[in-house]
Amino acid sequence: MELRRDAKAGSPEQEPPWQALPVLSEQQSGAVELVLAYAAPVLDKSQTSRLLKEVSAVHPLPAQPHLKRVRPSPDPGRPHSLEMLLCLAGPARDSRSLAELLPRPDVDTRGLGQPFLVPVPVRPPLTRSQFEEARTHWPTTFHEDRQVTRALAGCLFSAQERAAMQAHMERAVWAAQQAASKGLRAVGAVVVDPASGRVLATGHDCSSAASPLLHAAMVCIDLVARGQGCGAYNLAPHPACSFAPAVRAGSVRKLDEDEAGLPYGLPRHPGGPVPPTGPRRAGRQGIGAGLDPP
């Protein structure tokens, strides 16, 4: 797709052919980690409520609140229809009896069958795919993050939003090309108001041995400040850098243009920040209140 330097964000000629891919944490993108636990068949369904209360009191699972204590039997051919999670197996993974796992009189084991080992998810699932995998081992609760789900499905941004992103990126690429044409580092940047979609500043790397701090991000920060009536650096020699004044919404002013026809933003001390030259005045003028114009 051709670069459209002057294209307006949000009004593209065609839908961008790319999709945004989410960058997930290791916990979100990793496989489901399993740990062995003891479970037992519930032979008498009428005892389920009592057993659930007593077993949970003896073996609480504070680190695994996502695990459900009771599940339907995965094998319909078995004589029991329910199975109960008792406790995590820990280092000892050998066969244990009910008497070893559930001491009397804390738990009346009537209604339970012989314990067996089963793998369960050690952590709650964070994505839909993790949930689908985890539930094949043992039933779990899942609190879905809809934004993550939309991102994984490629639906986090609409076609119009992606077109706006591309237009802003093309603007940054154009600024980088302008910097390269002047022998500067080919790095461009654009600052956009997320609420309105308006471009607040377009800048590029202006750093040198004398001004090492004028990288693209710092240039844009200073340009945004100029749009609010402040700013500290002389960027007039770089006409590709521009900003949108806060008092004139939607307009973009070049740094070499001034309402009086004079070079804009020239400091009294060339090559450095513009120091305040007057006392601060109380009032409602905003960020630039109390500074005399250079």
Q: What number of other Cβ atoms are within 10 A of residue 102's Cβ?
A: 23
Give the pLDDT mean for 262-287.
Answer: 42
Q: CB under 8 Å to 106, separation ≥6 — which residues?
A: 54, 57, 58
Structure token pair of residue 179: 């910097």
What are the structure tokens assigned to 180, written together?
A: 């390269």
**What is the C-alpha to C-alpha distance for residues 87 and 38, in angstroms, rounded to an integer?**
5
Q: What mean pLDDT is reported for the chain?
A: 82
- Neighbour-count burial of 78, counting CB atoms closer than 10 A to its CB (0-12 exposed, 13-18 middle, 19+ buried): exposed
**Torsion angles phi and psi, residue 152, rounded to 5:** -65, -30
| pLDDT tens profile 34-76 | 999 999 999 999 999 999 999 999 999 999 999 999 999 988 8
> Percent of the chain beyond pLDDT 90?
57
- Residue 120 β-bridge partners: 35
Q: Is the dihedral of CA 98, 103, 104, 106 positive or negative?
A: negative
pLDDT for res 289: 36
Q: Using an 8 Å Cβ cutoff, are 276 and 290 in contact?
A: yes
For residues 72 and 32, the answer to whether their CB atoms sit within 8 Å is no
**pLDDT tens string 190-202:** 999 998 999 999 9
| 99 and 34 Cβ atoms separated by less than 8 Å | no
Amino acid found at 46:
S
pLDDT of 256: 55
Which two tokens mark 285?
Answer: 């003028």
What is the distance between the alpha carbons of residues 22 and 24, in angstroms, rounded to a whole number? 6
> Which residue, chain included where needed, has tokens 């089963």?
118
CB atoms within 10 A of CB 52: 15
The residue that leads in pLDDT, 30 or 262, is: 30
Percent of the chain with pLDDT over 70: 79
Tens digits of residue pLDDT in 131-165 = 999 999 999 999 999 988 888 888 888 889 999 99
pTM above threshold 0.75: no
Tell me how far apart the alpha carbons of residues 156 and 23 are, in angstroms, rounded to a whole number: 13
Closest CA to 127 of 37, 24, 223: 24
